[in-house]
Amino acid sequence: MQWHYQLPVPAAFATRPLRDLLKDYLQLPKRLIGDLRRNQRVLVNQRYRPMNTRLQTTDLISLTFQPADFRNPFPQTLLDPQLEIPILYENSDFVIVNKPRGLKTHANQPGESGAVLNGLAAHYAPDPVYIIHRLDQETSGALIFAKSPAAVPILTKMIREKQIQREYLVRVRGQLLAPAGLIKAPIGLDPNDQRKRQVNGPQAQAAVTHYRVLRQTKTSSLLAVRLETGRTHQIRVHLALLGHPIQNDPLYDPDAQAGQAMQLHSWRVQMRTPFFNQPVAVTAPIPPELASP
């Protein structure tokens, strides 16, 4: 099995070296660029050229990736054909799904199934699917998986460097005094509960959250939230720090009601596609618990 790409040269890279196109435009890691160079699997107009070759907009770049280029090109995932995961957008390199609340992103116990990844793996079998990022089990909404191993390091870098903009809808308890704000507080482990995180806990890392109020009632506020960092439980911990926990958060809302949905939803994703740099904007349908006043 191989993965092939044929790409034009964008105007911004005319007269620049081939190496710059691979590194700065395609955002391929150094190791992968080295594999393509050593095995002469990067071609300019169907001929191998050195990495310092100056490009023109009339050139056509051909890339061929092989399984040996990747550490785990064919991950072993249990298939769950009974689990249908709604697809919001897909191309040959990645898919954005609407994760149902209550499902894990991936199984984390040997022999465990019933997670989003298991359902997607069954849908695309025998072709593999690759995890790019995660959502908490009780969080619904837009979630990205790769369909090509060549796209994995690119999408991972885009997530890490915030080139993929993700916005969440959240309903919290109480009314916020400011119409918008920023929460900047390091998040670490909770020494008393391994399931939880806490501000300034052990191994704390910097965490920054932006929010704006969309509407309020006497008892609750609906927020749009954007993350600068991606710490575990970041939105949940930061909003609880303000004294406005997410409604029915089983870990951080002291007034959570058993069996009621935690009101946190991955709402919108804006990004550009790997390799072809096309704009994509996806909105995950708002669940009923957040659509009501």
Residues labelled as active-site residues = 136
Which burial class, exposed, middle or buried, applies to 234 when counting CB atoms under 10 A from its CB (0-12, 13-18, 19+)?
Answer: buried
Does residue 199 contact residue 243 with C-beta atoms inside 8 Å? no
C-alpha to C-alpha distance for 95 and 87, rounded to whole angstroms: 7
One DSSP character per residue, 135-198 reads --TT-EEEEEEESSGGGHHHHHHHHHTT-SEEEEEEEEES--SSSEEEEE--EEE-TT-TT-EE
C-alpha to C-alpha distance for 8 and 276, rounded to whole angstroms: 9
Amino acid identity, position 245: P
Tokens, residue 109: 């116990």
Tokens, residue 165: 């903009």
C-alpha to C-alpha distance for 158 and 33, rounded to whole angstroms: 18
CB atoms near residue 65 (< 10 Å): 22
